[in-house]
C-alpha cells in the first residue's frame, strides 16, 4: 500500500485570505526552523499575472491539435451545445485533480491543504513540508497530467464523437493553461536553485538551502 501525505480539504476560501496568519498552513510554516543562510526565491508578487506568458505555448499546442483534427474531418469537430458542460467538467474535475496531483507528490507525514476559491475560479494546494529541489519540480510538473491526457484522448477520439472531443479539448486548454504558475516555478528552480537543495515554503515565499 502506497503511503501518502495527509490531505485536508479546506473548502471555498477567499483567495486573499490564504496567507492570513490564522490559517493552519501559515502557523505551521511559522513553526519551521530553516538555516540562517536560506535564500528566498525571487518570485513575482502576483504569480498568476506573471505566469501569463507561460500560457502561450500550451495554447499553441492545443490549437495545433484542433488544426490537425479539423484537417482530418469533413464536418465540425466540436459541439457548441456541450461547451457549458465541458467548462464545468474542466473546473470542477480537472482543477481539483490538478491540486490532488500536487498533493500526492508530498512525502508521508506531510499535511497538504487543498481548497478552491470559487470567486476567483482558482484552486490551491499548500503545505509547510520541505521538499528536495527535484521533488518540488516533480510536484509542480504533475499538475499538467490531466491536460496532457485529455489532449491525447482528443487526438485519438473518433471524429463522430463530437461531444467527447469537445469535453476533451476544453479540458486540455484548462488543464495545460492552469499550471502556468507551476511552469514558471519549474524554470525559476532550474535557473536559480542548485541541485540537491531543499525547498521550504515560508510566509514570505519559497526559500532554498543546502
Summarised one tens digit per residue, pLDDT across range 28-83 is 888 888 888 888 888 887 888 888 899 999 999 999 988 888 887 776 777 778 77
- For residue 119, what pLDDT is reported? 81
- For residue 57, what pLDDT is reported? 92
Among the listed residues 147, 149, 129, 153, the one whose alpha carbon sits nearest the alpha carbon of residue 139 = 129
- For residue 14, what pLDDT is reported? 84
Spell out, as residue ranges, where the chain has pLDDT lower than 50.
1
User: 39-40 and 205-209 as β-strands: parallel, antiparallel, unpaired?
Assistant: antiparallel
**Which residue ranges make up each domain of the chain?**
6-209
Q: What is the pTM of this model?
A: 0.85
Q: Nearest 5°: CA angle at 177, between 174 and 180?
A: 145
Amino acid at each position: 500500500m502506497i503511503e501518502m501525505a495527509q490531505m485536508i480539504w479546506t473548502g471555498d476560501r477567499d483567495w486573499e485570505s490564504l496567507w492570513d496568519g490564522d490559517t493552519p498552513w501559515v502557523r505551521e510554516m511559522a513553526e519551521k526552523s530553516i538555516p540562517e543562510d536560506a535564500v528566498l526565491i525571487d518570485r513575482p508578487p502576483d504569480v498568476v499575472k506573471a505566469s501569463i506568458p507561460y500560457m502561450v505555448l500550451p495554447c499553441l499546442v492545443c490549437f495545433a491539435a484542433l488544426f490537425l483534427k479539423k484537417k482530418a474531418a469533413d464536418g465540425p469537430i466540436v459541439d457548441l451545445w456541450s461547451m457549458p458542460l465541458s467548462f464545468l467538467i474542466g473546473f470542477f474535475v480537472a482543477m481539483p485533480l490538478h491540486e490532488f496531483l500536487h498533493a500526492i507528490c508530498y512525502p508521508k507525514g506531510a499535511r497538504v491543504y487543498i481548497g478552491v476559491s470559487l470567486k476567483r475560479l482558482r484552486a490551491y494546494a499548500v503545505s509547510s513540508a520541505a521538499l528536495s529541489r527535484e521533488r518540488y519540480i516533480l510536484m509542480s510538473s504533475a499538475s499538467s497530467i490531466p491536460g496532457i491526457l485529455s489532449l491525447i484522448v482528443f487526438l485519438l477520439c473518433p471524429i463522430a464523437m463530437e461531444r467527447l472531443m469537445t469535453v476533451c479539448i476544453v479540458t486540455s486548454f484548462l488543464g495545460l493553461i492552469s499550471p502556468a504558475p507551476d511552469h514558471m516555478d519549474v524554470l525559476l528552480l532550474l535557473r536559480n536553485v542548485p541541485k540537491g537543495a531543499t525547498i521550504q515554503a515560508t510566509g514570505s515565499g519559497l526559500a532554498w538551502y543546502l
